[in-house]
Amino acid sequence: MKKIYAQALLLSTFLPAAASAALPTYDFKVVRSYPHDTQAFTEGLLYRDGFLYESTGLNGKSSIRKVNLETGKVLQSKDIPPQYFGEGLTAWGDTLVGLTWQTQTGFVFDLKTFEFKSQFAYPGEGWGLTQNGKELIMSDGSATLRFLDPKTFLEVRRVKVTADGIAVDQLNELEVVEGEIYANIWHTNTIARIDPATGKIVGWIDFSKLYPDAGKGPNGENVMNGIAYDADKKRLFVTGKLWPKIYEVKVTRRP
pLDDT in tens, 29-75: 999 999 999 999 999 999 999 999 999 999 999 999 999 999 999 99
62 domain residue, yes or no: yes
Q: How far apart are CA 91 and CA 108, in angstroms?
A: 9
CATH code for the domain of 192: 2.130.10.10
8 domain residue, yes or no: no
pLDDT in tens, 215-253: 888 788 899 999 999 999 999 999 999 999 999 999 998
Of the chain, the percentage scoring pLDDT greater than 70 comes to 92
13 domain residue, yes or no: no
31 domain residue, yes or no: yes
191 domain residue, yes or no: yes
* Number of domains present in the structure of the chain: 1
Three-state DSSP class for 134?
coil
82 domain residue, yes or no: yes
Cβ-Cβ contacts under 8 Å for 1 (sequence gap 6 or more) = 219, 221
Can you tell me the mean pLDDT for 205-220?
90
- 3 pLDDT above the threshold of 50: no
pTM summary value: 0.91
β-partners of residue 21 are none
- 1 pLDDT above the threshold of 70: no
